[in-house]
């Protein structure tokens, strides 16, 4: 029993979901790219590298990689060069040797020379299995990987240099830590690892002129983290991580590990896709409201500076929101808690701490009741809340999973406990998201 539990835990931590919009379905293939790397000179040709320019651009679930290498042949004869670029990918079944390479892992792979001449590329998957490691919370967790090699051949004329360009898009991997039982997916950060160690075989192991630019796209600095041996010299410049160095000592650098949080955009899309349409909510009734500016319509207006505020004089305990649905399957309920317009508004007013949820289903007379505790969220998470980042602020108060959920006729949410405000006794909800499928 213990062995099965450990395997299940590892599987949940390392599992890969196929697509954010289908995360509620069975997880499917769990393999994915583990790391990419520098070019490896396979035929041990006596060449050195004068410069290497690495450009990596984060593009959502993918990273676009472009690298230019300037090789130098100081021999008195032309040299045939056979080089390979290894892409390591993980086992699709944790603990077993089952590997599935998917076409979307690496796309648009091409190699060309400085004069624009395209270099023919072939590929193969090597039979060897590696026990690689994955940096996670300061612990190295071994995983099983295989290597796909992209192979290219060209001629280096005698006593001359030649620039070789490599470009491709690689799928960043991410892990669904909640599993397929939940309706609303919850992901770890996307990860890309770039291994510089294959370059140790070049000449003296030093690159005369090295530069690297990591274009973070629209990912804010707070949501992207870069680390690895030697990469503490990376500097942040207006959305880019930059490293420039002369006489770059390859042996003092290893794998650059990039983690970035793309979850906000993914969850925004998920919530927008599965939010129950307004015309399927036949009626929403509240037990009270503070005044005409804090009515029930604010729960659905997508304006995060407006709220429904109850109108009692006892912090809202016992107040409720009641919704009549038009025969719609209810799979999850989420809110943006409190009054997040400003920091003062947020802390001065009350926020939900515990609610009672009552559901009455179509063709069923009984009412199912559940009590749900909601954690308080620090105001820092609410800064500049808008249509692009609102999912970062979601408080999920109910998730009924991916199985068959019966259609709901009536839903009632009653306040049981609150996080008290520092100035006012009004409990507020900025937005309510009812999620489900037709």
Average pLDDT score over residue span 309-336: 94
Cα 269 → chain centroid: 13
Instruction: Examine the fold and report which residue of 245, 266, 287 is the final residue of a domain before the chain moves on.
Output: 266
| pLDDT tens for each residue of 165-217 | 999 999 987 654 444 578 887 766 788 899 987 776 666 667 888 899 999 88
The β-bridge relationship of strands 139-156 and 190-195 is: unpaired
Residues 162 and 285 in one domain: no
Q: Is there a single domain that holds both residue 240 and residue 334? A: no
Q: Does 237 lie in the same domain as 307?
A: no
Total domains, the chain: 2
Confidence of residue 11 (pLDDT cuts 50, 70, 90): very low
Whether pLDDT at 269 is above 70: yes
Q: Does one domain contain both 332 and 237?
A: no
Whether the per-residue pLDDT at 355 is higher than 90: the answer is yes
Are residues 261 and 286 part of one domain? Answer: no
Do 355 and 401 fall within a single domain? yes
> Of the given ranges (122-131, 142-151, 192-201), which has the lowest mean pLDDT?
192-201
Domain CATH code at residue 67: 2.60.40.3680
On the question of pLDDT at 18 being above 80, the answer is: no
Q: Alpha-carbon distance 414 to 376, whole Å?
A: 17
* 308 and 259 assigned to the same domain: no
Q: Which domain holds residue 225?
A: 2-266
Longest dimension (CA), the chain: 92
Q: Is the pLDDT of residue 28 over 60?
A: no
Instruction: Kindly report, residue by residue over 324-345, the tens digit of the pLDDT.
Output: 999 889 999 999 999 999 899 9
Same domain flag for 19 and 151: yes
**Higher model confidence: residue 398 or residue 6?**
398
Given a cut of 60, whether residue 298 has pLDDT beyond it is: yes
Which of 5-14, 266-275, 325-334 is least confident?
Answer: 5-14
What pLDDT score does 201 carry? 65
Chain-centre distance for alpha carbon 124? 29
Task: Report the range of poorest mean pLDDT among 1-5, 89-93, 168-172, 378-382.
Answer: 1-5
Q: Does one domain contain both 65 and 169?
A: yes
Task: Check which CATH number belongs to the domain holding 364 and give it.
Answer: 2.60.120.260
**118 neighbors 64 (Cβ within 8 angstroms):** no
Same domain, 238 and 386: no
Q: Rounded to an integer, what distance in angstroms lies between the CA atom of residue 162 and that of residue 65? A: 20
Do 374 and 299 fall within a single domain?
yes
Domain co-membership, 91 together with 168: yes
Q: pTM of the predicted model, to two decimals?
A: 0.67
């Amino acid at each position: 029993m213990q062995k099965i539990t450990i395997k299940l835990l590892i599987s949940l931590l390392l599992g890969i979901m196929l697509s954010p919009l289908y995360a509620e379905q069975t997880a499917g293939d769990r393999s994915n790219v583990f790391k990419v790397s520098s070019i490896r000179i396979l035929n041990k040709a006596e060449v050195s590298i004068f410069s290497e320019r690495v450009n990596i651009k984060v593009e959502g679930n993918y990273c676009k990689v472009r690298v230019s290498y300037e090789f130098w042949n100081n021999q008195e004869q032309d040299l045939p060069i056979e080089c390979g670029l290894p892409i390591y990918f993980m086992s699709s079944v944790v603990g077993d040797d089952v590997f599935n390479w998917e076409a979307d892992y690496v796309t648009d792979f091409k190699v060309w020379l400085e004069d624009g001449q395209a270099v023919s590329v072939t590929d193969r998957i090597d039979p060897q299995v590696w026990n690689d490691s994955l940096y996670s919370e300061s612990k190295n967790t071994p995983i099983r990987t295989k290597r796909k090699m992209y192979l290219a051949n060209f001629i280096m004329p005698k006593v001359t240099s030649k620039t070789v360009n490599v470009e491709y898009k690689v799928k960043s991997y991410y892990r669904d830590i909640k599993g397929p039982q939940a309706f609303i997916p919850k992901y770890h950060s996307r990860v890309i690892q770039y291994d510089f160690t294959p370059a140790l075989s070049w000449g003296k192991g030093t690159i005369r002129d090295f530069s690297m630019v990591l274009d973070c796209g629209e990912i804010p600095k707070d949501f992207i983290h870069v680390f690895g041996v030697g990469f503490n010299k990376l500097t942040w410049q207006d959305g880019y991580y930059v490293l420039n160095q002369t006489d770059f000592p390859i042996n003092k650098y290893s794998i650059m590990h990039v983690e970035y949080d793309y979850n906000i955009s993914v969850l925004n899309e998920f919530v927008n896709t599965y939010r129950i349409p307004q015309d399927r909510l036949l009626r929403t009734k509240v037990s009270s409201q503070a005044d005409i500016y804090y009515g029930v319509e604010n729960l659905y207006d997508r304006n995060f500076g407006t709220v429904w505020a109850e109108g009692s004089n006892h912090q809202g305990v016992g107040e409720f929101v009641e919704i009549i649905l038009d025969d719609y399957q209810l799979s999850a309920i989420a809110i943006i808690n409190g009054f997040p317009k400003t920091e003062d508004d947020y802390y001065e007013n009350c926020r939900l701490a515990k609610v009672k949820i009552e559901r009455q289903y179509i063709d069923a007379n009984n009412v199912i009741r559940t009590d749900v505790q909601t954690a308080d969220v620090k105001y820092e998470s609410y800064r500049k809340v808008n249509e692009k980042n609102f999912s970062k602020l979601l408080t999920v108060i109910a998730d009924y999973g991916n199985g068959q959920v019966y259609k709901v006729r009536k839903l009632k949410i009653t306040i049981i406990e609150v996080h008290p405000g520092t100035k006012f006794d009004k409990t507020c909800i900025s937005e309510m998201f009812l999620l489900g499928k037709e």
